[in-house]
Structure 1
Amino acid sequence: MNIKTLSQCTLEQGLHAWNKGFEGYFVEIDMSEEMFLTRLVGEGLSSKLSIVAFANDEPVGIVMNGFRQIDGKKTSWNGGTGVSPNYRGKGVSRALMEETIAIYEREQVEIATLEAIKENEVAIALYKKFGYVITNNLLFLRGDFEAKVDKQRSFQANTIRPEQLAHLPVYQEDVPWQCSWQSNKQGEAKVFYNDDQEAIGYLLYRTVWNQEGAIDTIILYQLELLENGKVEDIPYFLSTITDEKVKITAVNFLASNPATDFFIKNGLEVTTEQVQMKKYWS
């Protein structure tokens, strides 16, 4: 078996490794060339530090890696580990992880992160062998929601660019990679204040519009209630986007987030459960 960086591969080889690697997976992630390149750029993944395993000149496994400074620490993200069905259980995953950890150490990573489907016990066990520990439970939620609010409620909503979130003193930077502002520069953000000009919460989201020009879906990447915010404020937050019934998709929400419990109680269903895992270097 030979391991190359993604930058040493053709686009066709990288895409083949990805699509075969996630074939028959808990959640299949089959991508076109455009989707693959969009993911690479949009989520800050490195072609020079992502790797592809070859067997007899066939790409049979892949690990996508990204690197950022988060809370002042160099942090890596495993943006997908996949192995072709015919090569699973033959040591390819272990070889890919060994090379990945070696890359992280050469790059002086302080915290390595990843997410794994909760039911994927084999993968979780492998990551634990390489020093990862489970730090959070994450949920994908989906369902219809209508923001029914008292229009007399007084609060202020400021619409900002996603990248401006990083400059807010209240912004919580340590979130699942795909939910960060860096991964959602084409999205939208709002910050909410009470009458005393105290920040009570913020949103990072993207809207999907239907053919009639109305909002069909709100994809939520972050919904944070701050110290002065209350669960009862959530419908008011969403009403600043639309007060019509829409589909809500919540991506990688912490199970401990009060917003997660609110949405489940108000009709959204859990579609996928993941664990967030981290490996620390002292």
Structure 2
Amino acid sequence: MEFKNLAGTDIKELLSVFNLSFSDYIVPFHLTEEQLISKINTEKINLDISVGVFDSGHLAGFILQAEKAEDGEKIIYNAGTGVIPEVRGKGLVRKMYDFILPVLQERNADRLLLEVIEGNEPAIRAYENLGFNVVRKLLCFRGNIILAKENPDIIVREMEGFQWENFLSFWDIDPSWQASVFVLDDILKECIILGAYRDTKLVGYAIYNRSSKKIYQLAVDKSHRKQGAGTMLFKAIAQIAGGSEVSVNNVDDMSKETFSFLSSTIGLKNWISQLEMKKNL
């Protein structure tokens, strides 16, 4: 077995190993080449700090990683770990981390971050043995939007860009990596940004991806909640989605208000949950 970074790895080989690794996952999924390239670009995966294990010259496992600096810290995000079934049980995830950790330390990394599906006990134990700790539970929702009572005093309009100063003032919780400001700033063209207004005042917003049917962020000003702003934003998203299912991923389960709104008011189902884990270096 040989361990090295993934710079220069053929995208078709990476795709094949990615799909084989996740074919029997707790939530099996399959990516096209276009979707894998989009994942690499949107999640800012850096193949220079990603690691692969090669068996007789062929890729057999990987850890895809991204990097950002935030609040004086350098954070390394694990955007996906996979090992093909034929070579499992050999401690290859630990060995890949053993290989890449000195590289990350040379880059002055402060923290490692990842998500793992709740209930995937082998993976959770493996990461705990590597020194990761659970920091929060993240809920994933999907389904068709059920429209509740509307408020005609709330007008929803499309916005031309991110107004982060306003948006952040509405937050109770921080988004996960895939919906972070760091990621979204680079995919503005893929996003529809909707603002909810009472008279001329912005009281809520949503960031939606038309192609993936994914809602990255939605928040309402604390002083204007339970007055229909969120419902009107979802009405606008339902119209854009044209009756298709939508998803809202990685909602911090500490926000009971959000859980109730998404499940009871909007009708989405919490179909799976993830654990966010971190390791300080």
Regarding TM over 0.5, the answer is yes
Give the one of 247, 250, 253 matched to 2:251.
253
2:224 alignment partner, SS class? coil
Which residue in 1 is equivalent to 2:220?
Answer: 225
C-alpha separation in 1, matches of 2:204 and 2:108: 34
Per mean C-alpha deviation after superposition, the further-off stretch among 261-270 and 55-64 is: 261-270
Which residue in 2 is equivalent to 1:206?
Answer: 209
Is 1:37 paired with 2:41? no
C-alpha separation in 1, matches of 2:208 and 2:71: 22
Counterpart AA for 1:265 = S
C-alpha offsets along residues 184-237 of structure 1, whole Å, 9 cap, x if unaligned?
Answer: 43112234454583x5433121225xxxxxxxx842121223432314432022
Counterpart AA for 2:222 = E
Is 1:236 paired with 2:244? no
C-alpha separation in 2, matches of 1:38 and 1:16: 16
Structure 1 residue 115, shift from structure 2 partner: 0.6
The TM-score with structure 2 as length reference comes to 0.84
Per mean C-alpha deviation after superposition, the further-off stretch among 120-129 and 30-39 is: 30-39
Which residue in 1 is equivalent to 2:81?
Answer: 81
Counterpart AA for 2:205 = Y
Give the one of 184, 187, 193 matched to 1:189.
193
Counterpart AA for 2:56 = N
C-alpha separation in 2, matches of 1:20 and 1:31: 10
Count, aligned residues: 271
Report if aligned partners of 1:140, 1:249 keep a CA contact under 8 Å in 2.
yes
User: Where does the alignment leave 5 or more consecutive residues of structure 1 unmatched?
Assistant: 209-216
In structure 2, the CA distance between the partners of 1:14 and 1:241, relative to structure 1 (3 Å rule), is: closer
2:18 alignment partner, SS class? helix
Which residue in 2 is equivalent to 1:212?
Answer: none
C-alpha separation in 2, matches of 1:14 and 1:192: 42
C-alpha separation in 1, matches of 2:153 and 2:244: 22
Structure 1 residue 24, shift from structure 2 partner: 0.8
C-alpha separation in 1, matches of 2:213 and 2:84: 34
C-alpha separation in 2, matches of 1:165 and 1:246: 28
C-alpha separation in 1, matches of 2:31 and 2:76: 23
Structure 1 residue 102, shift from structure 2 partner: 2.8
User: Where does the alignment leave 5 or more consecutive residues of structure 2 unmatched?
Assistant: none
1:46 alignment partner, SS class? coil
Report if aligned partners of 2:170, 2:204 keep a CA contact under 8 Å in 1.
no
CA RMSD between the two structures: 2.7
Which residue in 2 is equivalent to 1:213?
Answer: none
Structure 1 consecutive aligned stretches of length 4 or more whose deviation exceeds 6 Å: none
1:49 alignment partner, SS class? coil
Report if aligned partners of 2:65, 2:79 keep a CA contact under 8 Å in 1.
yes
C-alpha separation in 2, matches of 1:66 and 1:49: 8
Structure 1 residue 127, shift from structure 2 partner: 1.3
Counterpart AA for 2:121 = E
Structure 1 residue 157, shift from structure 2 partner: 4.9
2:223 alignment partner, SS class? coil
C-alpha separation in 1, matches of 2:148 and 2:18: 43
Counterpart AA for 1:187 = C
Amino-acid identity (%) = 23
Is 1:170 paired with 2:169? yes
C-alpha separation in 1, matches of 2:200 and 2:36: 46
Which residue in 1 is equivalent to 2:130?
Answer: 130
1:115 alignment partner, SS class? strand
Which residue in 2 is equivalent to 1:48?
Answer: 48
C-alpha separation in 2, matches of 1:20 and 1:34: 17
Structure 1 residue 80, shift from structure 2 partner: 0.3
> Would you tell me which structure has more strand in proportion to its own residues?
1
